[in-house]
Each structure stands twice: as C-alpha cells, then as structure tokens.
Amino acid sequence: MLTCKRCGKCCESSSPTLHVSDLTLVTSKYIDWTNLYTLRKGEYVWDNINRKPIQAPTEMIKIREGENGGCVCYDPAKRACTIYSHRPAECVALFCEDTSRFFEVYDTPRLTRNDIIREPSLLRLVEEQELKCPYGNLVEWISRIKSEGERAVNRIIQLLRFDYDMRRLVNERLGVPPSHMDLLFGRPMMETIGAFGLKVVKEPDGSFLLTTK
C-alpha cells in the first residue's frame, strides 16, 4: 500500500485551489478569509500542471503562499499541515506517486467569490470592480503601450487607480480589514503588473507613475 512519506514537497511548492466541495471549510472558518486570495479571470498565473504561464480561464480561489512559495498552512518545522483534518479536496486527493485522484478533483467545479461572500453590498462591489477594471482590459492595454504610447499608459493608470481606491474605500467606509481584500478583489493590480515587467510608483501628490522594473 502506498503511503505519504511526508517529505513536504507538494506543500512547499504551491498551495491548493479550492473547489465547490470545499465551501464548508470556508463557511465553518476552518480556512479563514485572511488565508485566501482570488485569481481573477484573465490574470496571468503559473500553470503547475503544464509548467507554463497562462491567463486564468476562470476565477479561482486559492490558499495563500508564503514568502518561499509554499502553502501558508504548512508547518515546515513539523512537516505537517496545520489544517490537516480540514484540508481542501485537492490536498486530500494529492499523492505524488499516483496523481489519478488529484486530476479527478482538479476537473470538478471550482469555488468562486459568489459562493463565499454572503453580504450583498460586498458582492455588488466585487461586481463593480469586475465591470470597471476587468483583468482582460489591463492585459489588453499593456499590449498596446508600444503602439499607443501615452494613451495606453493613461488607461492602465485609470484601471490601477480604480482598483487601489476600491480597496481603500471598502476598508475606510465598511471596516473590512485589509487582510480580506485579496479574497474580495484579487491581488492588487499595482503588484501583479510586475509580471509584465512594469511597476507603479506612488508620487507624493498621490498620483501614479508607471515605469519599467
């Protein structure tokens, strides 16, 4: 019988994506919002299966990775998962010497923000963000910098500004903690734009400057 050797390689290399079957782990708070983030549709992500960067075909909810890229729920000192009794479906199914069960789970419906967020006002704000600054628009305008110059740069800054202001206002006016923003609105565009070799500098007057890394 094959058994896990507890080498930790799977936990130290990435974190799981949540599926609909994992919803109760979130609603029961076995997995806190603080430890989750959203990969938005169209966002560039690393495909661990095919080992290449791709644009996310659908929205996905993931457990955060730590500074070294491993799952934040893994304790390397103990070589153990801190939520083992309530670990997600991908983790239950994953076994490095036989990945057949993992791929069965991998193809099941994934969890989305609409499944998790119960507060109507927060859902409306999530929808507003997707309407005003969809990730596909950011990718499109970045691809047009060479041909359209300043016009493309200004449109990118508008998208970044909306994303930035949305998080700030939700924190200030609704009291939602900053640690929940990455689940509600995905990772800040000001950070993920680095994947395109760009960075944003916030000027003393509050304006944004787009430049290369």
pLDDT value for 11: 92
**Which amino acid is present at 199?**
K
Residue 171, Cβ neighbours under 10 Å: how many?
14
What does the mean pLDDT of the chain come to? 92
Angle, helices 120-132/150-174, rounded to nearest 10 degrees: 170
At residue 68, the pLDDT reads 83
Render pLDDT for 175-210 as a digit per residue (tens, 0 to 9).
999 999 999 999 999 999 998 999 999 889 888 999
Residue written as token pair 């930035």: 164
pLDDT tens by residue, 57-104: 899 999 999 888 899 999 999 989 999 999 999 999 988 777 888 889
pLDDT at residue 2, rounded to an integer: 57
Cα gap 193→212, rounded to integer Å: 10
The encoded tokens of residue 49 equal 């299966």
Measured in degrees and rounded to the nearest 5, phi and psi for residue 85 equal: -70, -15
User: For residue 71, what are the β-bridge partners?
Assistant: 65
Q: What is the pLDDT of residue 173?
A: 95
- For Cα atoms 11, 13, 19, give the angle at the middle one, nearest 5 degrees: 60
Q: What span, in angstroms and rounded, lies between the C-alpha atoms of 59 and 38?
A: 7
First to last CA, the chain: 51
pLDDT for position 53: 77
Give per-residue burial for 145-157: e unless 16+ CB within 10 Å, then b. Answer: beeeeeebbebbb
Q: Inform me whether the pLDDT recorded for 137 exceeds 70.
A: yes
The token duo for 90 is 């991908």
Helix boundaries (H) for 28-149: 89-93, 100-106, 113-116, 120-132, 135-143, 145-148
Residue 158 pLDDT greater than 60, yes or no: yes
pLDDT, tens digit, for every residue of 28-61? 999 999 999 999 999 988 776 677 778 888 999 9
Q: For 8-17, what is each residue's pLDDT tens digit?
A: 888 998 899 9
State residue 131's pLDDT score. 95
> With a threshold of 0.95, does the pTM exceed it?
no
